[in-house]
Amino acid sequence: YDKAAELALKAWREDKTLKEAGLELGYLTEEEFEAWVKPQEMISPR
């Protein structure tokens, strides 16, 4: 939770995407982000 909050705050403060912030912080790779974050699945009904 703490790392997710840090990542989100960095993205907001620096006007960056969550992906950019996560990569800069070294919390995940680009491949991990692409595998875990799927916007279409977040907005589509199941």
Distance CA 33, CA 22 (A): 8
The DSSP result for 3-19, as a single string, is HHHHHHHHHHHTT--HH
Q: What is the band of 44 on the pLDDT scale with cuts at 50, 70, 90?
A: confident
DSSP 8-class letter at 27: S
Domains plus CATH for the chain? 2-43 (1.10.40.30)
Residues 1-41 have pLDDT tens digits of 999 999 999 999 999 999 999 999 999 999 999 999 998 88
pTM: 0.79
DSSP 8-class letter at 26: T
